[in-house]
Amino acid sequence: MDTSVHEDQNQDQDQDQHQLTIENILFSGSSHKKCVVCRGEVNTTMITMPKPVRLDLLVLKRMYAPRGVRCCRKYLWNNRLLPDVKINTDNRQTPMAKLEPTVLLNLFNDLLGLLQEASTTSRLDFMNASMSNEDYLTWTGWTKEQFEHMFMLILPHMQSSCNREARNALAMFWIKLKTNLSFRQIGSLFNISGNYENRRKVVSRSFDSIPQALVDKLLPKHLGIGYLSRSEVIDHNT
C-alpha cells in the first residue's frame, strides 16, 4: 500500500496545527510579482515594502503582508503607507492570515515597537503621513501641496540637516503667525523636550531659521487674513 500521500497529508496537517489563524486579518498573499495594494503586475516603479509600511498595512488596513512583497512607490510617503490608500481585495486566494508562532511573535514585538514610538511621538509632526490636508490648513493656513512646495523652496537655505526638524520648523513658523500661540504652547504641541524655557527657545530658534526672503515673498499676499507679521511676533516673543 502506498502511504506517501497520507504521510504528506499528515505533515500538512501537522504544519497547519502550528499555525494560528487571526480572524479579521487579511493575508496579502506572498507573491512578489504583484503589487500588494493595487494588484498590478510588477514593474520598475515598485519597491519591496519596508517593514514600517507592512506594519501600517496591518494596523490601518487589517492586512498582513510577509517580508519581501512589493507595492507601487506612489502609495508610500516618508517610508510610511499613505493612510487613504485603497486596497484592491479582488482575487485574494487566502483571505485569512495563518501565521507560524515565530512570525506572530516577531510581529507582536514589531507592533510593540510601533506603540512605543507612537506614545513618545509629538502631538503634531509634519513628517507624519497621516496629517491631512485639513490639518495643514487648520494649523498653517496652507494646503499640504502649498506647504510641500514651500518646503522644497526653502530647504536648501536652511541650516538643519534633518528633514523632520526643517519641516517642523516651517510648520512652527506658520502656526505662530496664524494662531499666535506662544512659543511655549507650540513647543508643547511638538513635544519638545525639556522645561518650558527650553521649549520656548527651541521654537523661537526654529521660527528664526525660516529665511526672511521667503517671508518677504509670501507674507504680503496673505496679510489681512489673520496672519501676524514677523515684527509683531518678535515684539511679543512669548
Could you tell me the smallest distance in angstroms from the CB atom of residue 73 to Zn ion? 9
SS (H, E, C) 112-172: HHHHHHHHHCCCCCCCCCCCCHHHHHHHHCCCHHHHHHHHHHHHHHCCCCCHHHHHHHHHH
**C-alpha distances in angstroms, 41 versus 62, 70, 77, 201?**
23, 10, 21, 51
The answer to whether residue 47 forms part of the interface with Zn ion (CB under 5 A) is: no
Piece of 14-22, 66-74, 84-92, 230-238 that binds Zn ion (CB under 5 A)? 66-74
Q: Is 119 exposed, middle or buried (0-12, 13-18, 19+ CB in 10 A)?
A: exposed
Could you tell me the smallest distance in angstroms from the CB atom of residue 66 to Zn ion? 17
Cell digits for 56? 501600517
- From candidates 22, 72, 181, 215, binder to Zn ion by CB under 5 A: 72
- From candidates 31, 40, 52, 59, binder to Zn ion by CB under 5 A: 40
The answer to whether residue 214 forms part of the interface with Zn ion (CB under 5 A) is: no
The answer to whether residue 38 forms part of the interface with Zn ion (CB under 5 A) is: yes
The answer to whether residue 210 forms part of the interface with Zn ion (CB under 5 A) is: no
3-state secondary structure of 221: helix
Could you tell me the smallest distance in angstroms from the CB atom of residue 110 to Zn ion? 23
3-state secondary structure of 98: strand
Piece of 68-76, 89-97, 158-166, 168-176 that binds Zn ion (CB under 5 A)? 68-76
**C-alpha distances in angstroms, 16 versus 20, 21, 171?**
8, 9, 51
Residues in contact with Zn ion, counted by CB under 5 A, come to a total of 5
- For Zn ion, the closer of residues 71 and 233 by Cβ is 71
The answer to whether residue 35 forms part of the interface with Zn ion (CB under 5 A) is: yes
- For Zn ion, the closer of residues 37 and 175 by Cβ is 37
Of 108, 55, 106, 115, which Cα lies nearest the Cα of 80? 55
Could you tell me the smallest distance in angstroms from the CB atom of residue 53 to Zn ion? 12
Interface residues toward Zn ion, by CB under 5 A: 35, 37-38, 40, 72
